[in-house]
C-alpha cells in the first residue's frame, strides 16, 4: 500500500521513490510517453501544477540543471519517483536524496523541463472496426498506429547488446567505454548516450568513426530485439 509523505509541500510516495534508480525502468517509461510541452519550473510553479493540470493522470518530467538531468515520475499529483544523472560522469542517484536535491534546485532557480504524458494502455490501442480494405492499406495503418511500447526484456536485451558491441569495438578506434549507457526520449526518438575516453596515454579516441560504425548496426539490432518502429539515435560524449 502506498505511503504518502510531504516535503516543502510536495507529496511523494515513500514506497516507490527509488523506482527510477534503474535506467531500464526509465527507458521503458520513455517509450510510453507523449510529449506535451517545455516548461521552466521553480518550486511554486511545480506545486501549482501538481494541484491543477498534473493532479490527474501520469506524467514524466525531464529537467536540467548545470550538472544534472532529473527525471520525475508523477501520478495523480504525487511524486512517485525521482532520479538524476550527472551530465559529466553519468553517475545515477535515486530516491529521497534525489528528491531533496531536486527541491533544493527548484528553490534556488528555475529548471528547464520537458513534460510528457504517460499514455494509458487503452489510449495506445487505436483499433476501430471498419469495412474490409486492401491488405497493403491495412498494413500501412497498423504500422502508423503501433505504439512505441515494448516490454522490459526487449529493451534490456537491446541496450545490453548495444553496450557489448560498443565495448568490444571501442579499442579498434583508440577508445574505451566509461560508465553505463544513458537513455532519454526526445521528440519520440530514443536517444542512447555513451561516454568514451582515450585508450592509453597516447593516441586519439576516434569517437565519431566508432559512432558511424555502430550506427550501421542499429537497424539490425532494433529488429533483432523486436523494437521495429522505434527510432534510435546514438550520441557520443567524450570524457
Which pLDDT score is estimated for 97?
A: 95
Arithmetic mean of pLDDT, 201-227: 87
Reduced to 3 states, what is the DSSP secondary structure of residue 89?
coil
What's the pLDDT tens digit per position in 62-120? 898 888 889 999 999 999 999 998 876 667 899 999 999 999 999 988 899 989 899 86
The percentage of the chain sitting over the pLDDT mark of 90, rounded to a whole number, equals: 39
Mean pLDDT of 24-39: 83
Q: Is the pLDDT of residue 198 over 80?
A: yes
- In whole angstroms, give the CA distance from residue 139 to residue 228: 14
What is the mean predicted confidence (pLDDT) over 223-237? Answer: 85
Whether the CA torsion 153, 23, 37, 235 is positive or negative: it is: negative
pLDDT at 122: 42
* All domains of the chain in start order, with CATH: 4-119 (no CATH), 152-238 (3.30.300.20)
Q: What's the mean pLDDT when you consider all of the chain?
A: 81
pLDDT at residue 2, as a whole number: 63
Q: Which pLDDT score, from 0 to 100, does residue 25 have?
A: 83
129-188 confidence digits (pLDDT tens): 344 443 333 233 333 333 344 456 788 888 888 988 898 888 889 999 887 888 888 877
Closest CA to 106 of 42, 25, 193: 42
- Whole-angstrom distance, CA of residue 105 vs CA of residue 80: 19
> In angstroms, rounded to a whole number, what is the distance separating the alpha carbons of residues 188 and 33?
8
pLDDT of residue 128: 37
For the range 97-106, what are the long-range contacts, defined as Cβ-Cβ under 8 Å and sequence gap of 24 or more?
Answer: 98/70, 99/7, 99/10, 99/12, 99/17, 100/7, 101/68, 102/63, 102/70, 102/72, 103/7, 103/8, 103/10, 103/43, 105/65, 105/68, 105/70, 106/41, 106/42, 106/43, 106/46
pLDDT at 151: 58
Residues 6+ apart with CB under 8 A from 68: 84, 85, 86, 87, 101, 105
Amino acid at each position: 500500500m502506498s505511503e504518502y509523505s510531504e516535503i516543502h509541500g510536495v507529496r511523494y510516495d515513500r514506497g516507490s521513490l527509488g523506482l527510477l534508480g534503474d535506467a531500464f525502468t526509465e527507458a521503458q517509461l520513455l517509450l510510453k510517453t507523449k510529449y506535451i510541452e517545455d516548461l521552466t519550473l521553480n518550486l511554486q510553479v511545480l506545486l501549482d501544477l501538481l494541484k491543477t493540470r498534473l493532479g490527474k493522470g501520469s506524467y514524466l518530467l525531464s529537467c536540467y540543471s548545470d550538472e544534472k538531468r532529473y527525471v520525475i515520475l508523477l501520478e495523480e499529483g504525487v511524486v512517485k519517483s525521482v532520479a538524476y544523472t550527472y551530465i559529466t560522469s553519468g553517475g545515477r542517484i535515486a530516491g529521497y536524496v534525489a528528491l531533496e536535491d531536486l527541491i533544493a534546485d527548484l528553490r534556488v532557480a528555475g529548471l528547464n523541463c520537458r513534460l510528457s504524458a504517460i499514455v494509458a494502455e487503452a489510449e495506445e490501442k487505436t483499433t476501430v472496426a471498419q469495412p474490409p480494405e486492401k491488405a497493403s492499406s491495412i498494413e500501412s495503418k497498423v504500422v502508423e498506429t503501433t505504439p512505441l511500447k515494448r516490454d522490459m526484456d526487449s529493451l534490456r536485451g537491446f541496450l545490453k547488446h548495444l553496450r557489448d558491441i560498443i565495448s568490444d569495438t571501442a579499442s579498434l578506434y583508440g577508445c574505451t567505454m566509461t560508465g553505463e549507457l544513458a537513455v532519454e526520449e526526445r521528440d519520440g526518438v530514443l536517444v542512447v548516450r555513451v561516454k568514451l575516453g582515450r585508450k592509453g596515454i597516447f593516441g586519439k579516441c576516434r569517437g565519431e568513426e566508432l559512432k558511424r560504425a555502430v550506427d550501421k548496426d542499429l537497424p539490425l539490432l532494433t529488429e533483432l530485439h523486436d523494437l521495429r518502429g522505434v527510432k534510435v539515435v546514438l550520441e557520443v560524449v567524450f570524457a
